[in-house]
Amino acid sequence: MKKQFISILITFLIFSTHFSKKLSMFAESSAIISADFEDGDISMFSKRGEYDASVLELKKDGGNSGSNYLWVSDRKETWNGAQFGLEGKCTEGAQYIVSLAVKADKASTVCLSMQHTDSSGEDHYNNIMCTESQGKWVKMNEKKFTVPTGGKNVFLYIENISGTDDFGVDDFEIKEDSSSIEDNVPSLKDVYKSHFKFGTATTVDELTPKTTQQLILKQFNSLTIGNELKPDYLLDKSATLQNAQKTGDYTNPLVKIGGAAQILDFCAKNDIPVRGHVLVWHSQTPGWFFKEKFDDNGKWVDKDTMIKRMENYIKNVFDMMKKQYSNVNFYAWDVVNEAWEDDGSPRKPGEGNGASPWVQIFGDNSFIKYAFQFAKKYNIEGCKLFYNDYNEYIEGKTKAIIKMVNELNSEEKLIDGIGMQSHLDVQFPGISMYESAVKAFSQTGLDIQVTELDATTNDCSASGFENQAKYYNDILDVLVKYSKFVSAVVVWGTTDDKSWRTAQCPLLFNGDYSAKPCFYSIVDGLN
């Protein structure tokens, strides 16, 4: 009895010291896991499923910190490695910060990624960060990731993408990201209410963190779907092929809603007007769409076939929206994107490297008229139809766009508005150059929307940000001056860390959601 009591007591003591060590670690850093392996425990990691040949073991001959670390050997494929399960430990839709140290003996690229299976059963693999290692420990510094909503089999995993060599892991830590939006700053949508809508763009991934959703709800009253309404995302190749093989009709490209659903549901629920983007573009459109028998390796189709495919595609997209998203206010749609070169000529025919399959098949930019005719024919009620382009302030392109809209609108109004993407840099274009373009576009009498505003700076220091603030302020002053013609200003993204030009910090909010000087410069004096 005495013996039994002592053994219970010892077990209790072992457990309680073990847990209190872990608990105090949690409290200090709100860490989900903080593994330096010094306690000898590697059980939080496993190989990547039953087909992974890896052997995971504890080594004690010198980690990144201390002596212990996790070693992954016997790998047979580059994807073989170590994984850490997030389910039950992390909250869906929440953001976390991960860091770790890795080591490979031979020169290798070691990567950390996240995988999950979505509710439709599709697997996703998203890289978080990679580093090079040759014989030395390399720290992979803190990086944010968001736990997907409704996902299963959610893991962070580490692999050596250079081959099947061994690698080690140490100081693996996941912390909660405690950043939140600033509630006490003005809302852009309110500040600019009497002038134009103030919007942003988001992809499904960017919209996953709850904090980003809160930022959007507080600041913006227009949302552009960053990727998921582009042909690459909407076109359903297998349904299209199946239908074509069954009916013998190779002119009907079928569509599916895909990832756009999540963003559209968010817009419907929160009553946020949507800019559709984009129907007809040389980029992010699959090659098979333009090829005989919908075959990637087929020949280009002839113009008549392509006209039919274009008509059916536009009809199918708009019909799907009318049927499934009658609760969404699509107030504008980019019908054609980026058809003109800076010197006012059409793009080169072909595919890839900026060449256009549309020009390849039509011989020139005459496809634009068809696109607007079909968009008008099948349009969603209340949705304005836009021509959208970048470098729109370069004279050759400004003139080509104005000539085109005047010509296409001469018999009946096909184009409602001009979208100025406005991917700017604090050095170029100058304010007067930008204003000349806004003025020239306004003289067409059409609606103008700034559709993808961001302004990069090579200097992300405090003084660089002041300079950027001045530039943003001057651009917004121009847009307010012409606000009779401008119905929306949309920035291309929410926080700098998620921007497509992240290295040059082009947006209004920092990665921790705090407002940047350029935010304050454009709300000051107007609120």
Three-state DSSP state, 33: strand
- Other beta carbons less than 10 A from residue 186's beta carbon: 17
Q: Which of residues 384-413 bind ligand GLA (CB under 6 A)?
A: 390
Q: Which of residues 149-168 bind ligand GLA (CB under 6 A)?
A: none
Residues with Cβ within 8 Å of 170's Cβ and at least 6 positions away in sequence, in order, are 36, 37, 63, 64, 65, 68, 69, 70, 100, 101, 102, 103, 137
Return the number of the residue (282 or 309) whose C-beta is nearest ligand GLA: 282
Q: Is 452 in the site for ligand GLA (CB under 6 A)?
A: yes
- Strands 81-85 and 138-146, bridge-based pairing: unpaired
The pair of three-digit structure tokens given for residue 81, joined into one six-digit string? 């490695």
Residues with Cβ within 8 Å of 427's Cβ and at least 6 positions away in sequence, in order, are none
Q: By the 8 A CB rule, do 226 and 201 touch?
A: yes
**Shortest CB 34 distance to ligand GLA, Å:** 36
Q: By the 8 A CB rule, do 74 and 54 touch?
A: yes
Return the number of the residue (167 or 340) whose C-beta is nearest ligand GLA: 340
**341 tagged catalytic:** no
Of 159, 228, 311, 338, catalytic = 338
Return the number of the residue (173 or 452) whose C-beta is nearest ligand GLA: 452
Q: Is 337 in the site for ligand GLA (CB under 6 A)?
A: yes
The residue within the footprint of ligand GLA, chosen from 15, 26, 428, 500 (CB under 6 A), is: 500
Q: Is 468 in the site for ligand GLA (CB under 6 A)?
A: no
Residues with Cβ within 8 Å of 100's Cβ and at least 6 positions away in sequence, in order, are 112, 139, 140, 158, 169, 170, 171, 172, 173
**228 tagged catalytic:** no
DSSP code, position 366: T
Residue 338 amino acid letter? E
Return the number of the residue (63 or 419) whose C-beta is nearest ligand GLA: 419
The residue within the footprint of ligand GLA, chosen from 64, 200, 262, 421 (CB under 6 A), is: 421
Q: Is 503 in the site for ligand GLA (CB under 6 A)?
A: no
Taking residues 101 to 120 in sequence order and writing x for each that binds ligand GLA by CB under 6 A, - otherwise, the string is --------------------
Q: Is 454 in the site for ligand GLA (CB under 6 A)?
A: no
Encode 458-467: b = buried (16+ Cβ within 10 Å), e = exposed.
Answer: eebeeebbeb
Q: Is 51 in the site for ligand GLA (CB under 6 A)?
A: no
Return the number of the residue (226 or 517) whose C-beta is nearest ligand GLA: 226
- Other beta carbons less than 10 A from residue 70's beta carbon: 24
**Shortest CB 199 distance to ligand GLA, Å:** 14
**Shortest CB 419 distance to ligand GLA, Å:** 9
**Shortest CB 500 distance to ligand GLA, Å:** 4
Shortest-Cβ-distance residue relative to ligand GLA: 500
Q: How far apart are CA 333 and CA 204, in angstroms?
A: 19
Return the number of the residue (337 or 456) whose C-beta is nearest ligand GLA: 337
Q: How far apart are CA 31 and CA 412, in angstroms?
A: 62
Q: Is 262 in the site for ligand GLA (CB under 6 A)?
A: no
The pair of three-digit structure tokens given for residue 404, joined into one six-digit string? 């085109």
- Total chain residues near ligand GLA (CB under 6 A): 6
Q: How far apart are CA 450 and CA 400, in angstroms?
A: 18
**Shortest CB 353 distance to ligand GLA, Å:** 15
Return the number of the residue (386 or 465) whose C-beta is nearest ligand GLA: 386
**Shortest CB 517 distance to ligand GLA, Å:** 24
Q: Which residues bind ligand GLA (CB under 6 A)?
A: 277, 337, 390, 421, 452, 500
Catalytic residues: 338, 452
